[in-house]
Copies of this chain bind each other. A is one copy, B any other.
């Protein structure tokens, strides 16, 4: 008898029928003799709807209150799922994040899990119950509700898998797994049967929405295999794990893209120590995530500084940066929100030269101008015009022959 963790996303539990469908899938796993712990997101658009309600009341909902408000979404879906399972004759119980033992720091809206004591989960499993845990949420030592931020339910699932010593963490969503590119952009994209943690981490960080990078990181840390699969079909999905065989590693594995980015450039910045800190510390305090940062070589101690942020954070970022730009004597502060990025990812790249040159060549052939470049050992990312992203992904997918095998 194995212990498995299953996580179902919001679209998988969007209404009563889908909840019953998920209950049948869980029941099937239970019927195979496994102990099952399920982590569930809020139904469909519930979280967005709750946020809208908050903004109808105030333009600045405090993070503590917003966390309690949003946490109700997962309480609703977890109780309904437990009811559906009981209706099918299975023992089931819903637990809040707090009841499941998920203790976090007090950073509301982006809390980190400090420790996880799944005592109650174990007790309920021992009673023969299927345990449904409300994802995305935890509780502080002061008994205040927190939420874990983006990808929170994925993180809840992998953290529970780690603390319970589960065999696998299954993340069920509305796509069939991890692909060589987004199938909506590249119809011939292939689903991957398996992928390593590091590659998945880069993929997820650079645009693949299928699983949150934070959950992948946690999976790698505790060596928990993560299966990503569809909650609507029975196809086998993609296994994210550490033991990916040598051969499949030796190539580009997938093309990621991301349209949610904007660029801010400070033109004519005096190049002296402390300038970067004076810009990026206030942005961090304002809770704005800065992605890529590029600084041109300095000419006569004057340089240009460019960085990217999510589109939704551009206005706030400009509000923060503009007065700083003025105070440090920058000539100008400009932004561009019509950007996207494409990345090629694969552990095969790290010891093999020529991948970057080939990528740049493919984009050049298509007349796509590269604005910024960033790389890691297993990833090359180009920031380009938003309107050319689809074209770039398709061309790269062909050039690296990803349609041939998964």
Query: Which A residues contact B (CB, under 8 angstroms)?
Result: 16, 19-20, 50, 53-54, 56-62, 64-66, 68-69, 71-72, 75-76, 78-80, 82-84, 86-87, 93-94, 96, 98-99, 120, 143-145
Contacts and interface: CB of A to CB of B under 8 A. Distances in A.
A54 B72 contact: no
Given A50-B76, A53-B80, A66-B83, 14 more contacts: A16-B57, A20-B57, A54-B80, A58-B87, A59-B87, A60-B86, A62-B86, A65-B86, A65-B94, A68-B75, A69-B79, A69-B80, A72-B72, A75-B75
Contact of A75 (B19, B72, B93): B72
A98 B91 CA distance: 26
Contacts of A76: 50, 53, 69, 72
B96 A84 contact: no
A84 B68 contact: no
A83 B55 CA distance: 9
A28 to B, nearest CB: 18
A19 B99 CA distance: 30
Nearest to A68: B79
Given A16-B53, A94-B68, A143-B99, A60 B79 contact: no
14 contacts: A53-B76, A58-B86, A58-B87, A59-B87, A65-B82, A65-B86, A66-B83, A68-B75, A68-B78, A68-B79, A69-B75, A72-B72, A96-B145, A98-B143
A106 to B, nearest CB: 14
A228 to B, nearest CB: 26
Nearest to A65: B79
A73 to B, nearest CB: 8
A110 to B, nearest CB: 18
A84 B58 contact: yes
Contacts of A75: 68-69, 71-72, 75
B54 A83 contact: yes
Contacts of A80: 53-54, 57, 65, 69
Nearest to A123: B142
Q: Which 4 A-B pairs have the closest CB atoms?
A: A58-B87, A16-B56, A72-B72, A69-B79
A97 to B, nearest CB: 12
A87 B60 contact: yes
Name which of A58, A79, A144 has the most chain B CB atoms within 10 A of its CB. Answer: A79
Nearest to A132: B65
Nearest to A84: B57
A145 B145 CA distance: 14
Contacts of A54: 79-80, 83
Contacts of A69: 75-76, 79-80
A53 B78 CA distance: 12
A58 B83 contact: yes
A57 B19 contact: yes
Contacts of A56: 16
Nearest to A142: B120
Contacts of A61: 83
From A60, A68, A82, name the one whose CB has the most chain B CB atoms within 10 angstroms.
A68
A20 B94 CA distance: 33
Nearest to A50: B76
A98 B58 CA distance: 26
Nearest to A53: B80
A87 B53 contact: no
A96 B68 contact: yes
Nearest to A78: B68
Contacts of A50: 76
A246 to B, nearest CB: 48
